[in-house]
């Protein structure tokens, strides 16, 4: 059955891509983005789980479960997008904004972002045991993210009125993002390219030719993993024309996945199996814990107080005890792992709910011209993809932050009726 579920997952992803290519504007819609991330991130790991000897660490039931559930999650990305948006929600998104104030808000966000970058360069960054940042640097890096909201504000404005000020502000907002891209950060690269493409469509209705699109999808599926493999060296090798080294790194990365030494999808499989065996699900408390982790600063309120606000009902910390399996540093539970641990098989409906959210934003921005919806759509599409690779909890964190910032912008820029 594992092979059947694998073929089903491949078929679902290909079907969504074909659905998108029938009408090219669908390449900017939620199902296409999600199918792309399933193809580039989940499918290679699923193939490795089925074909490598490491799958023997999993029971056959656990292997089939993670593959079946991956099929359900991928399918729900399309199913949830097919429902018609609620008219009342669409009406609430029809907010007229003062474009002059919107530009001012973008400048404020840009200033905050640059201030955070400056402060990060002036402090000593503390490193936690797992290799991630901790301390004040994490707070500064968190607020630096407002640049990703400032950029589409300037870019949409520049596409509408391509004058010196708008173009200059767009370039200034893009510079720190480009610097991160040159360091070889895959998520930032995908976020930047998706934001540019969506802005061109929403601002000018630009749709690339079908042939260029197919070539881009194939190239992206090949190059994005290579960027992660080489990090900052990728762009140096690309500009110098050292294709042999790039090809070699691609082969090494593919072989590493196929060999199955480190797979995020295996993390998900063990988490799901543990939740099933223990009959212990978090019922949303894991999402709450992640929100507390992200938004409650332990340095200010105290780490004991922060811990007291969390439930800690997840299964991730029980894997070593139950299976003698240790999650590798830097790997994730994936959206399949954490959504199943929260709600069992019903967790796949979270992907459908996110799909319904994006359908509402799409209709509001494309057919009703809502600037608020356009900013939300551009800002959240990368968060949805990260929801697959890193987890639904990560999507919730970014959703709260980005919608909160855009809500404040909307409140400031809303046109008065009298």
Q: Taking all residues of the chain, what is their mean pLDDT, rounded to a whole number?
A: 86
Q: What's the rounded Cα separation, in Å, for the pair 225 and 138?
A: 26
pLDDT for the residue 152: 94
Tens of pLDDT along 158-212? 999 999 999 999 999 999 998 888 877 777 888 888 889 899 999 888 888 877 7
Q: Is the predicted pLDDT of residue 138 greater than 90, yes or no?
A: no
Q: Tell me which of 224-238, 291-305, 357-371 is least confident.
A: 224-238
Q: How confident is the model at residue 231 (pLDDT cuts 50, 70, 90)?
A: low
Whether the predicted pLDDT of 381 surpasses 60: yes
Task: Answer for the pair 249, 277: CB distance below 8 angstroms, yes or no.
Answer: no
Residue 183's pLDDT is: 78
Q: Taking the model in full, what pTM does it have? A: 0.90
Q: How confident is the model at residue 38, as a pLDDT?
A: 94
Q: Which of 155-169, 224-238, 270-284 has the lowest mean pLDDT?
A: 224-238
Number of alpha carbons in the 13 Å side-chain half-sphere of residue 235:
12
For residue 133, the surrounding DSSP H or E stretch is strand 133-134
**Exposure letters 218-249 (e unless 16+ CB within 10 A, then b):** eebbebbbbbbbbeeebeebbeeeeeeebeeb
- 392 is written with which tokens? 């639904």
Alpha carbon of 229 to those of 179, 196, 226: distances in Å? 18, 24, 5
Flag whether pLDDT at 260 surpasses 80: no
- For residue 107, pLDDT over 90 is answered with yes
Cβ proximity of 34 and 389 under 8 Å: no
The burial of 212, by beta-carbon neighbours within 10 Å (0-12 exposed, 13-18 middle, 19 or more buried), is given as exposed
Q: Mean per-residue pLDDT for 28-52?
A: 90
Q: Output the pLDDT for position 326.
A: 78
Q: Which residue, 126, 118, 184, 116, is CA-closest to 148?
A: 116
Which of 104-108, 244-248, 326-330 has the least mean pLDDT? 244-248
Q: Are 263 and 49 in contact (CB under 8 A)?
A: yes
Q: In this model, does residue 55 exceed pLDDT 80?
A: no
Q: In the prediction, which pLDDT does 13 show? A: 94
Token code pair at residue 379:
């800002």
**d(Cα 359, Cα 353) in Å, to the nearest integer?**
10
Residue 132 has pLDDT above 80, yes or no: no
With helix as H, strand as E and coil as C, how does 23-87 read? CHHHHHCHHHHHHHHHHHHHHHHHHHHHHCHHHHHCCHHHHHHHHHHHHHHHHHHHHHHHCCCCH
- Range 46-71 average pLDDT: 84
Q: Report which of residues 171 and 415 the model is more confident about.
A: 171
Percent of the chain at pLDDT exceeding 90? 56
Q: Which of 333, 328, 300 is nearest to 316 (CA)?
A: 333
Interatomic CA distance for residues 309 and 396, integer angstroms: 17
Of the candidates 313, 332, 320, 330, which has an alpha carbon nearest to the alpha carbon of residue 275? 313
* Residue-wise pLDDT tens digits, 71-102: 999 999 999 999 999 999 999 999 999 999 99
Q: Is the pLDDT of residue 266 over 80?
A: yes
Q: Cα angle at 43 between 218 and 234, to 5 degrees?
A: 50
């Amino acid at each position: 059955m594992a092979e059947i579920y694998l073929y089903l997952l491949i078929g679902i992803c290909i079907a969504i891509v074909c659905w998108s290519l029938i009408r090219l504007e669908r390449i900017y819609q939620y199902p296409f983005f999600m199918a792309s991330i399933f193809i580039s991130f989940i499918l290679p790991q699923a193939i490795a789980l089925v074909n490598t000897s490491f799958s023997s660490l999993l029971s056959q039931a656990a292997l089939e479960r993670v593959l079946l559930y991956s099929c359900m999650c991928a399918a729900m990305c399309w199913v949830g997008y097919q429902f018609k948006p609620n008219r009342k929600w669409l009406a609430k998104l029809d907010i007229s904004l003062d474009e002059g104030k919107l530009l001012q808000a973008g400048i404020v966000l840009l200033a905050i972002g640059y201030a955070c970058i400056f402060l990060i360069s002036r402090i000593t960054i503390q490193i936690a045991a797992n290799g991630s940042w901790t301390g004040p640097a994490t707070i500064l890096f968190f607020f630096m993210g407002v640049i990703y909201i400032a950029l589409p504000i300037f870019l949409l404005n520049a596409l509408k009125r391509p004058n010196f000020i708008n173009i200059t502000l767009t370039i200034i907002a893009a510079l720190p993002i480009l610097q991160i891209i040159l360091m070889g950060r895959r998520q930032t690269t995908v976020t930047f390219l998706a934001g540019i493409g969506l802005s061109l469509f929403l601002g000018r209705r630009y749709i690339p030719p079908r042939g260029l699109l197919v070539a881009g999808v194939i190239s992206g599926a090949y190059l994005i993993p290579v960027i992660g493999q080489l990090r900052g060296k990728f762009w140096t090798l690309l500009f110098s024309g050292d294709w042999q080294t790039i090809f070699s790194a691609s082969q090494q990365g593919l072989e590493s996945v196929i060999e199955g030494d480190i797979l995020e999808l295996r993390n998900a499989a063990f988490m799901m199996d543990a939740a099933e065996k223990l009959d212990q699900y978090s019922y949303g408390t894991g999402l709450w814990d992640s929100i507390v982790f992200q938004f409650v600063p332990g340095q200010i309120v105290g780490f004991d107080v922060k811990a007291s606000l969390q439930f800690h009902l997840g299964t991730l910390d029980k894997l070593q005890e139950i299976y003698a399996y240790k999650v590798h540093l830097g790997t994730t539970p994936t959206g399949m792992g954490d959504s199943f641990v929260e709600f069992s098989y019903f967790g796949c409906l979270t992907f459908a709910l996110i799909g319904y959210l994006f359908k509402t934003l799409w209709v509001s921005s494309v057919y009703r011209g809502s600037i608020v919806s356009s900013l939300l759509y551009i800002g959240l599409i990368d968060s949805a993809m990260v929801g697959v690779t890193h987890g639904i909890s990560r999507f919730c964190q970014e959703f709260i932050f980005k919608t909160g910032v855009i809500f404040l912008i909307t409140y400031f820029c809303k046109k008065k009726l009298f």
